[in-house]
Structures are given as C-alpha cells and as structure tokens.
A and B are shown apart, each in its own frame.
Chain A
C-alpha cells in the first residue's frame, strides 16, 4: 500500500481531528436541553458525533481518494498489487473499534446511571415495592391482580433522598391526562415547578403510548397493564412539547400536549386555580375512562 508523504498525512490527520472536535461540539442538531441530565445526554451525543465525524471523514476520504487516484487507465488490463491482507493492520482496525465501543459503553453506562436508570425503585422488573403507590391509583384501571411492573428511569443517585413532586400520567387515545395525587388536580397539561424533582408514574389506558419530552431527552413507553416511572429535575423555565412517540392509532400525530416548567410561584398559582375545578373534571375523566 502506498501511503502519501508523511507530512501530508500528518497535516491531514490534524485537520481531521480538528474538524471532528469542532463539529462534535457545534453540530447544532439537538433542541434546547431543559435539565442537567439532558445536558449529560448531549455530552454523550457530542462525544459520539466527534468519533462518528472522524470515522466518516476518514472512510469517505479513502473512498474519494481511491476514486481519483486508483483509477484504471484506459487499455491497462493488468491487475492491482496482489495484497491479500495485512495482519497487523487488521488487528489494529479490530482493536480500535473494540476500544472505542468499550469506552462508549462505559460512558453510556455512566450517563444512564446518572439519569437514574439503575435506581432499583424504577428499573426493577417486578415491582412489589410499587404497591405503596397503589392506594390512590384510581386511574389505573387495568390492574393485573396486584402485579405491577415498575420500569423507567428513577432519581439520579445524587438526588435520591429528595422529595419528589409525584404526577400520575395516563395515556389514552389520543390525549395525556395528568393527575396530581397531592392536590387532586387533574389536567391535560403538565405543570411542574423548576428545580424540583418530579416523578411521573406513567400508565396507559388502551394501547401503548410513549411519553416523550425532547427537551428533557426523556422517553418512556406507557404500556397498558404496567406502570413505569420517570424522574427528572427540570431546570429551565419554559414551554416544551409532550409528544406521544409510540404509534397508537390514526391520530397518533395529534397526541400532543405541553409541559410547563414554571417558577415556584407560577406553579402554585396554577395549582390554586385548578383545585376548585377538580371535582367535576375528575368525574368526567373517570367516565371517559370506562368507555372501552
């Protein structure tokens, strides 16, 4: 294999490194991040983007150079050099990706752990420990003989002991229903105070839905017959879309609502405004609920 002069290779290498380092940070592909955990996900993505850009440029570069440099000249019927392999080189390109994915796996594991993915409360398979939550769960219609599964993302290890604002989230064709067990508020929108830990108990009434807030980088399927949990600490005031990400029928695309991350005061105001209307709304909701 003929390698271009060393200096050129070196310059190309440095340029490639600089480009991918720059692009990895400045791709601008992600929406705003509204929690610290979302930003760790972004860092992970940036890291992956950096490596991917490098590999992309390297391989496309090889292909493009080959197309121009190693073209068969007209009338030349001879073959190229009979190189059938190169063991050291093959070891290198087996080992480097192996190391990269190893690092990536460790890094992802770390991020996942930070997001609370390994919190036993939330990520365990068979959650008898979720039973305590059952008493005010009058909206979970499909209770399977007491068996519940808690799945999803729990509290970050750092915030474990913090008191969460608990909201029950129920997905049904084609709307989200949010119940605040503490205050009894029932709403079609999700309001949460900024910088306070929120725990969502996610369930579904009819088919599978998925609760997704792109700006939190969080998604969790709402599976009928199971309950899943998402815990997060929003830290950026604003309005963000809540999107159903799992095909749930014809109007799946319309199954959207809004997440309001508000200051403590705004949030309290909202709770007050809504408590009085709660009785009638709940009746309505439950009535809705028992329609098959």
Chain B
C-alpha cells in the first residue's frame, strides 16, 4: 500500500464505488454483498419473531383458526405464489445475462421480474379487498393481515430495488460482468422475500 500523500481527492470520493485493487489508500475489497447477507439475517429474525408468535397462538388456541373465521380463499394466493416463485428464476436469468456483460438481457429479465412482482402485489390487494374478514376479527385474522402485509412491504421494497437497477442500467457501463453489486443485491433480496413467502404461505394458508 502507498502512503496517503499521493491520495487523489477524487478517489476518496469514490471510496465505495467498484474500483478494484488499484492499490490505493482507501480501497479495500468489496464487502457489500456480505453486508447484504448479514442484513438479511437480521431481517429473517423479524420474520422468525412474527412466525414464532403465530405458531404459539396456533398451538394455544383450542380451535385454529378460531371459530367464526371465514375460509381463506386459496386460488389467488396460490397463483400468486407460483408467480412469485417463478419470478426468482426469471430474475436469476437477468444475473446470468450481466455475467456475460449482456445489459439488454439484464434489462429484459429484470423488467419481467418487476412485472411479476407487481402482479403479486396487485393480487395481494385484490385478496385484501375481497376478504370476508377484517383485521380485528380475531387473532388469526390479525396475524393474517400483519404477516402478509409485512411481507408485502418487503415485496414492495424488492420491487423498488429492481426498478432502481433498471434505472441505473440505462447508464452505459454502469453494470458489467465484474461489477454488478446492485444486481446481485437486488436478486438476493428478492430470493429472500420469496423464501419468506413460501414459509408464510405454508403457515398461514395451508396449515
């Protein structure tokens, strides 16, 4: 490493852009993916807390869902699940594209993913507006809305991340085969949201 005397102030500004291994003061390997992973560990603890609470209610109540809870509609959420799960695969194609430096490919697959995410959210809204029960009917319905709502919030955030990647990808050279942290982060986040949905779907709808 070199002494700081030669430091270029511009470099200092670019401190965290993907300028790899130029041997300058102020650079270190890129740990942002690790950061995303650790952040997701923390996120999953929130869901674990909520799921844990849900399971305790479930085990405590003699009847679950409590008497008087209308049946949950399975069709729309089922289709929704399939859309969300397949969107993960679609999204992965986008990442594969950028690894071959194929920006249009990235844009295409990410756009499809975004559309699928949006459909999922619309389906969720449709389900809410047609549900025969309100938030406060009983503990089950409260759990239902809070869990799906909190998850929906994460889908929304994931969607925004994808849109941000798309927006940035219009800039030429922003993403390339060896520099596409944004793509990877968005994808990992999306997979995470997906996995959470699978667990949620099993717990809330199927069990």
Contacts and interface: CB of A to CB of B under 8 A. Distances in A.
Q: A and B: direct contact (Cβ < 8 Å)?
A: yes
A146 B63 CA distance: 11
Nearest to B61: A147
A145 interface: yes
Contacts, number: 10
A145 B66 CA distance: 10
Give the 9 A-B residue pairs with the shortest CB-CB distance, closest first. A147-B62, A145-B62, A146-B62, A147-B60, A147-B61, A145-B66, A145-B63, A126-B60, A145-B61
A147 B62 CA distance: 7
A126 B62 CA distance: 10
Contacts of B60: 126, 147
A145 B60 CA distance: 11
A171 to B, nearest CB: 22
Overall SS of chain B's interface = loop
Interface of A: 126, 145-147
Interface of B: 60-63, 66-67
B53 to A, nearest CB: 16
A147 B67 CA distance: 14
Contacts of A126: 60
Nearest to A126: B60
A146 to B, nearest CB: 7
Contacts of B63: 145
A100 B61 CA distance: 41
A147 B139 CA distance: 15
Given A126-B60, A145-B66, 8 more contacts: A145-B61, A145-B62, A145-B63, A145-B67, A146-B62, A147-B60, A147-B61, A147-B62
10 contacts: A126-B60, A145-B61, A145-B62, A145-B63, A145-B66, A145-B67, A146-B62, A147-B60, A147-B61, A147-B62
B98 to A, nearest CB: 51
A147 B61 CA distance: 7
Nearest to A147: B62
Contacts of A145: 61-63, 66-67
A126 B60 CA distance: 8
